[in-house]
Amino acid sequence: MKFGVIVFPGTWSDVDCHYAVKEVLGQEARYIWHKDEDISDIDCLIIPGGFSYGDYLRTGAIARFSPVMRQVEKFAADGGLVIGICNGFQILCESGLLPGVLIRNDHVQFRCEWVNLRVETIETPFTMSCDSGQVLSIPISHGEGNYYADNQVLDVLEKENRIVFRYCNEDGIVTEDSNPNGSLRNIAGIVNSKRNVLGMMPHPERCCESSLGGEDGKLLFESIVRAMQS
Amino acid sequence: MQIPREILDEIALSEEEYLEIVRRLDREPNHVELGMFGALWSEHCGYKHSKLLLRNLPVESSRLMVNPGEENAGVVDIGDGLAIAMKIESHNHPSAVEPFQGAATGVGGIVRDIFAMGARPIALLNSLRFGPLEDVHNRHLFNGVVGGISWYGNCIGVPDVGGEVAFSDCYSGNPLVNAMCVGLLRSGDLVRARASGEGNILILVGSTTGRDGIHGASGLASRTFEEEREMRPTVQVGNAFMEKSLIEACLQIAAADLLVGMQDLGAAGMTSSVVEAAEKGGSGVVIDVSKVPTREQGMTPYEIMLSESQERMLLIVTPQNEKAVMDICTDWDLEAVVIGQVTDGDTITVMDGTNVEAYLPINILTDPPLYRTQSTIPDYMNTTRFLKESEVQLPTESPSSVLLRLLSSDNIASKEWIYRQYDHQVQTNTMQGPGGDAAVLRLKGTSKAIALATDTNGRYCYLDPLSGGAISVAEACRNLACVGAEPLAITDCLNFGNPERPDVYYQLESCVSGISDACKAFGIPVISGNVSLYNETRGTAIWPTPSIGALGLLEDAKLTTNTAFKDAGDIVILIGSNSLESGIESLSGSEYLEVIHNTIKGSPSIDLALETIVQDTCIKGIQAGIIKSAHDCSDGGLAVALAESCIAGNIGLVCDQGIKGRWDTALFGETQSRIVLSVSPDEIASFQELALSTGTPYVVLGIVGGERLIVNSLLNTNIAELSYVWQNAIAVHINS
């Protein structure tokens, strides 16, 4: 299968994502420049982390107007798999593909550290290789990862089993202390109602090799590959 | 001559220097020309007071790819067709005036130095100094600097993998912000900062030019300043997003082999960029300032030539390649314009449309007078030099209590509060990030890794500039040894007071000698660096603080280690000494002496022959897979090193070595050239063999295990308690 990694000016996890799926997982991958409009060869789109357009105005707010985003919207509507990581999650929210918004971390600092995530659902193409309730160790690196939505939206997400990851402690218990940014209900990642678009703040591409501290991120990309093959 | 004193003051030239300019030009310079001289003959650009000393630094290495000092950064070959570019640079004075932007633009500037060489920036490090955090203004500076480094580095996607921070009164009002950048390139892709080839064009790409930072090099960085608050307009404002696009566009242009040369616009802006590129290319240049896109209306040629607006690069390109270069810039939404061309002469002509604004021989601009001050030993050294046993009473508090106080000292406490604000993982090479002795980055596509560390100890350099300089290099290399890396090269940033003062000049001269001695002992060159002088407030100089950035190589990335004790039953060994006991001299300049006794005295010393043996043993032991953990004894001595290895591994240690004599010197003395190792019991014979073959003195300390750090009857403390104090000290002090 073929991954497409979207590159905006200011994106910086593009190379990391490309390396993870191509060199570590051995899949095909190519970069997609934000001005490109042809993504017909792609099976799964990755919108990587970074500071697209400098994150001026609001994080992700300008990137949503890039030519490629029209194609992303179509691709998603047709059921294509899209994973937005960090800034990519912010862009998906800004463009309306996912509900809610990501605001400044409650402690107002940038935070780069390893966190624990509890897998809330394995009924997505992104988590089907995980165990339900499994605790993943994955790094975060953001200043604006504080997930916010009104209670109605949050209730719907819960009811429809669309919260994919929650920040938790190492025993898998969701606690206030384990929340690194103030996200409501400890949300770290969600899917859309069709379950083909995932947004998550942590960086799975940073933990696909043991020499970098862990391999839990690989589970997500392996899930995608499995989902595409099935 | 009719030049008013105020004008010379503004550009920090002396009357003698002005007369020298008139003599060499055989005429008086006009306003624009004088501004250009002020910038290029500043200490910051011209190294007037340091160049003669810097010539003593060792620069020989078979790995060198450019001559140190000749290009924007030093470059060393690391095999496999790859090379590393690196440099450390100060942004002290801007950070004192406006800490957030001062530090941010310091990062931006050093990153441009690296990609100007055609190298992909792969790591940032820093070396920071502040006054004590109890003071509200120091906290403001500290928060601003950390915030600025965090914002800029995080935006451009270059991991901040390590550094060091220390606090002392002498840095109150004059913080040190030294930023280091490391770049990776294919050896054949090296780009030089050269404007050559008559008719080739000069392209300015990146930000527009504004009125920010005018006189930054001459005014801010090259003299002491008392009226700091009035100088805010001389600090530049950064645009990290623009920098990220510049990195990508410039590296794409370099990779497509479209360049004759590339040069960043840093201190002294367009003036130094164009003049230095022409000098290195052995050419002349003509530029037209009316072509330069400006940020505001009505900017004068003088302002355009001296603006230090950030995120601008100068590309030297053949006319045939102009379109291809412009296309790449357009693709990245970067504004690029042709501002001039290379000529076959040896002059720079600055035009404003059809008017000639400046016409100067390049070799005069780049050849400022060099000074050597007659040095004298600082007065204080006559009293600080001797530390007598009777001056240091054994504390009445317990050794455990002393240890806890040292672990909560800001100089020793965990710096996680700082580095968790820096992205240290992006680019997915970071095998070991901040918090260890050295950062370790794998090199994709090879089996290799590089190790990076910054280090210096201002207190040692203050007490004995010669030994202090040598120890700074030794400690930086020892940090590399603790992850198993062979040292390859260093870069240095020399932070000192006013070099026109004989005692400060003595510090500078002696520190440089010490650095030189240590580099020779390790057989490594100084490949790049920067000098920041005039670090004084109200007539008091900072401690001499030569920040050393060190680069090491691991042939096999898998054979590395960290500071953490690993498994119960492992044997802990101290190398570099065959006993725990130390004399009173080991307390010279120690953290213990300052924190517990409020005393800064003694003569720190180092035996470089022993140091090289100890490092060699550590490297060999790690590369042979014998050594499971390594941590050097530095600030706080042996007890702090043991505590930190216990904390990192979350496991205890029982040490039953007897201590004869004073416990404070044994536990907290800072005798150099010592490393704490742990070795599995199965490997102890191999270790002994190794130590014997290299002639390394060592002493077995004890066994890893349990939940407490126990040193015979002296120390007995729970690791969780040590960890809590060490982990939280800085956050507590920031929020107090």
For residue range B620-645, list pLDDT tens digits in order.
999 999 999 999 999 999 999 999 99
Tokens of A110: 């940038």
- Which residues of chain B are within 8 Å of residue A143 when distances are taken between CB atoms? 154
Residue to test with chain A: of B239, B250, B428, B443, most A Cβ within 10 A: B428
Are the CB atoms for B278 and B195 separated by under 8 Å?
A: yes
- pLDDT, position B660: 85
pLDDT in tens, B193-216: 999 999 999 999 999 999 887 776
Q: What is the model's pLDDT at position B71?
A: 85
A24 contacts in B (CB within 8 Å)?
none
Q: Does A61 score more than 70 pLDDT?
A: yes
Whether B650 has its CB under 8 Å from any CB of chain A: the answer is no
* pLDDT at residue B219 in the model: 57
Look at B241 and A54 and tell me if their CB atoms are within 8 Å.
yes
Closest A-chain CA to B147:
A109
Q: Is B66 or B506 the better-scoring residue by pLDDT?
A: B506
* pLDDT value of residue B657: 87
Yes or no, beta carbons of B154 and A51 under 8 Å apart: yes
* pLDDT surpasses 70 at B217: no
Distance of residue B516 Cα from the nearest chain A Cα, in angstroms? 36
Question: HSE-up of A206 (CA within 13 Å, CB side)?
Answer: 28
Q: What residues in B contact A201, CB-CB < 8 Å?
A: none
Catalytic positions of B are: 44, 91
Percent of chain A with pLDDT over 70: 97
Mutation for B interface: A5, A57, A110, A137, most B CBs within 10 A: A110
Show which of residues 113-172 on chain A sit within 8 Å of chain B, judged by CB atoms. 113, 139, 141, 143
Whether residue B557 lies within 8 A of chain A, CB to CB, comes out as yes
What pLDDT, on the 0 to 100 scale, is given for residue B229? 43
pLDDT tier, B44 (very low <50, low <70, confident <90, very high otherwise): confident
Confidence of residue A64 (pLDDT cuts 50, 70, 90): confident
Nearest by CB to A51, which of B241, B419, B444? B241
Q: Residue B465: pLDDT above 60?
A: yes
Give the pLDDT confidence score for residue B45 in this predicted structure. Answer: 87
Per-residue model confidence (pLDDT) at position B736: 77
Give the confidence band of B539 by pLDDT, cuts at 50, 70, 90: confident
Q: What average pLDDT does the structure give for chain B?
A: 94
Q: Looking at the DSSP assignment, which residues form a beta bridge with residue B166?
A: B129
**Cross-chain Cβ contact B420/A112 below 8 Å:** yes
Pick the CATH number of B561-736 from 1.10.3720.10, 3.40.630.30, 3.90.650.10, 3.40.50.2300: 3.90.650.10
Instruction: Identify the CATH number of the domain in which residue A138 sits.
Output: 3.40.50.880
Does the distance separating the beta carbons of A9 and B244 come in below 8 Å? yes
Mean pLDDT over A130-136 rounds to: 97
B239 in contact with chain A, both atoms CB, cutoff 8 A: yes
Asked if the C-beta of B428 comes within 8 angstroms of chain A's C-beta atoms, the answer is yes
Give the residue numbers of A annotated as catalytic, written as ranges: 86, 203, 205
Q: What is the pLDDT of residues B92-150, one digit of tens each?
A: 999 999 999 999 999 999 999 999 999 999 999 999 999 999 999 999 999 999 999 99
Domain-wise residue ranges, chain B: 561-736
Asked if B679 reaches chain A (Cβ–Cβ under 8 Å), the answer is no
Asked if the Cβ–Cβ distance from B426 to A13 is below 8 Å, we say yes
Q: Which ipTM score applies to this complex?
A: 0.96
- Does any CB of chain A come closer than 8 Å to the CB of residue B150? yes
Q: What is the pLDDT of residues B672-707, one digit of tens each?
A: 999 999 999 999 999 999 999 999 999 999 999 999
CA distance B276 to B270: 10
Q: pLDDT: is B219 or B67 the higher one? A: B67
- Of all residues in chain B, the one with the smallest CA distance to A207 is B428
Closest residue in chain A to residue B332, using alpha carbons only? A9
Asked if residue B220 lies in contact with residue B97, where contact means CB atoms within 8 angstroms, the answer is yes
Residue contact A112–B333, C-beta within 8 A: no
Among A15, A20, A113, beta carbon nearest to B427? A15
Report the pLDDT value the prediction gives residue A52, as an integer from 0 to 100.
Answer: 80
Of all residues in chain B, the one with the smallest CA distance to A107 is B421
Cβ of A110 within 8 Å of Cβ of B428? The answer is no
Q: What is the pLDDT of residues B362-371, one digit of tens each?
A: 999 999 999 9
φ, ψ (nearest 5 deg) of residue B606: -145, 145
Question: What are B496-520's pLDDT values in tens digits?
Answer: 999 999 999 999 999 999 999 999 9
Q: What percent of chain B has pLDDT over 90?
A: 88
Residues in a beta bridge with A47 = A84
Q: What is the DSSP letter of B57?
A: S
Tell me the C-alpha distance between B228 and B720, whole Å. 44
> In chain A, what are the helix, strand and coil shares in percent, each to the nearest 5?
30, 25, 45
Tens-digit pLDDT profile for residues A101-128: 999 999 999 999 999 999 999 999 999 9
Say what angle helices B465-481 and B502-522 make with each other, to 10 degrees: 30
Interface check B558 vs A, CB under 8 A: yes
**Residue from A163, A162, A197 nearest A45 by CA:** A197
CB–CB contacts below 8 A, A to B: 82
Which of A33, A35, A113 shows the shortest C-beta gap to B420? A113
Contact between chains at B333 and A9 (C-beta distance less than 8 A)? yes
DSSP output for B406-474: HHTSTTTS--HHHHTTS---TTS-EEE-TTSSSEEEE-TTSS-EEEEEEE--HHHHHH-HHHHHHHHHH
Nearest CA in chain A to B150: A110
- Structure confidence by residue, pLDDT tens digits, B382-417: 999 999 999 999 999 999 999 999 999 999 999 999
Smallest CA–CA separation between A153 and chain B, in Å?
31
Structural element, H or E, at residue B37: helix B31-40
Q: Is the pLDDT of residue B227 over 80?
A: no
A206 vs B239, B421, B425: nearest CB: B425
Q: Which residue of B has its CA nearest to A141?
A: B423
pLDDT score of B218 more than 80: no
Q: Where does the pLDDT of residue B179 fall: very low under 50, low under 70, confident under 90, or very high at 90 and above?
A: very high
pLDDT, one tens digit per residue, over B273-313 is 999 999 999 999 999 999 999 998 999 999 999 999 999 99
Residue B719 has pLDDT above 70, yes or no: yes
- Which pLDDT does position B234 carry in this prediction? 64
Range of the domain at A18: 2-229
Q: ∠ CA(A28), CA(A29), CA(A34), 5° rounding? A: 160
| Number of folded domains that form chain A | 1
